[in-house]
Structure 1
């Protein structure tokens, strides 16, 4: 017997639902994700390093939309007053983000106020997706010093550009290891490089290579502090940076030398790029 048209349509719909229920749900979920706005992690982390060091409220180019999404999420969790939801990732927003990280049970370098992959993803659940993810990687040993895999890759590329080896004097994750470092080596992404046997031109060339691949790097001399000649390099946008290293990188973007006196940058001029931007160039 032929079914009436409405009954046939209903039967077909039920059959289709029974056959495609799982995939239909997945498709609906995917559509929901596509409907969410996105936070560019690279831009957000860059703003979190630079904005706290600015003398004014200039916004970091390309970061405003992402920072606003993060700030609104912090506001809705009662961690940030509405007046600070302005697209500027200054000290107040950094402090609010650190409180959020601690609320997740994160401690130490995982609660440094820089948006890490885990915390940013959890903050965005149901609100935004995260793109351009930064991952410092795991800790590894090289030349007797601890660094992370992102830093190791950056150093390897700098060595390739320079055409010679770079020997470390100090690695990362070294809290209290050298008091003259003022905490910059407490977290990830920061190394000191020996300049033994290098003339002035080669030292400058080494700093240039390091800067090209995404380090804020400078030649340090005994005239500047209680230390021997060396190269200090901090990996821009490493999300495990100590707060002191975050400040150095913010100053580097602002044309300063990364020292407490905040003097003018005395290194070779290059286009400032993160490691991720260098890889896409």
Structure 2
């Protein structure tokens, strides 16, 4: 008799889980990120099976309780720092899914590099390159990523990956807006920051959505961007140009 094939494991799409992990904790309710429910459920079921998440929170909503559970999973591996940011990365997802699910649509921040004298990662660099190509100009970085404690006014958003501050010196208002628009088009949550908003000069703040190396503060900004907020502590309405929101991976797939 022919052998009976083993039942295929469920598939967890990392892109969808990452997006939910950024947006859902910032929601005022338990609404679900479109297209992510089944993938988040598989992650939550695995967290429950390992004793990190109570059954009542296995609902497809990657909220604050699921985030805490995921952080505790990461800590159980002996990890520290950014590796315990509560954001599902490739290694932690695959370890969690052993025997339970397989992981597809992998999102990698890549390696750390130096660009314009600032530290960023290769995913962020690729996104910046594409934005510059669309703009037809080179942008000047004033603050990069992985800059722990480097600027207290940044409130920790540059402590991890995916974060950029960009100079607007010499740009008129229309050009500034166009730069923000192009950054958004390639997957950045980006805003023009003004002196009236904080202790900083005019500049553009950009956060690479779905960078798994984000700091928690930056990850909150990414979620707020998708919810139409300005990325500031006051969580006011978005004051930037309207675009169809896409991650870098969605941009590359088009």
Whether TM-score is above 0.5 comes out as: yes
Instruction: State the 1:104 CA deviation.
Output: 1.0
Is 1:133 paired with 2:106? yes
When normalised by structure 2's length, the TM-score is 0.98
Residue 264 of structure 1: SS of its match in structure 2? coil
* Residue 200 in structure 1 maps to residue 173 in structure 2: yes
Shift of the alpha carbon at 1:205?
Answer: 0.5
Rounded Cα–Cα distance in structure 2 between residues aligned with 1:120 and 1:102: 13
Residue 250 of structure 2 aligns to a residue whose secondary structure is: helix
Q: What residue ranges of structure 2 are gaps of 5+ in the alignment?
A: none
The residue aligned with 2:207 is 234
TM superposition score normalised by structure 1: 0.88
> Corresponding residue for 1:65?
38
Give the unaligned 5+ runs of structure 1. Answer: 1-12, 14-23
Paired with 2:40 and 2:79, the residues of 1 have a C-alpha distance of 21
Larger Rg: 1
Q: Report the Cα offset of residue 228 of structure 1.
A: 0.3
Mapping for residues 1-281 of structure 1, pairs under 5 Å? 32=6, 35-281=8-254
Structure 1 residue 110: deviation in Å? 1.2
Q: CA deviation at 1:152?
A: 0.3
Give distance in 1, aligned partners of 2:210 and 2:82: 13
Secondary structure of the residue aligned to 1:134 is coil
Aligned to 1:10: none
Q: Distance in 1 between matches of 2:79 and 2:112?
A: 18
In structure 1, what is the Cα distance between the partners aligned to 2:84 and 2:199? Answer: 30
Residue aligned with 1:146, SS: strand
Displacement of 1:107: 1.4
Runs of 4+ in structure 1 off by over 4 angstroms are none
How far is 1:108 from its partner?
A: 1.0
C-alpha displacement of 1:106: 1.7
2:119 aligns to what SS in structure 1?
Answer: strand
How far apart are residue 103 of structure 1 and its match? Answer: 0.6
Instruction: Give the CA deviation at 1:105.
Output: 1.6
Q: Which residue of 2 aligns with 1:6?
A: none
User: Whose relative contact order is higher, 1 or 2, with alpha carbons under 8 Å and at least 6 apart?
Assistant: 2
* Partner SS state of residue 52, structure 2: coil
Higher helix share: 1
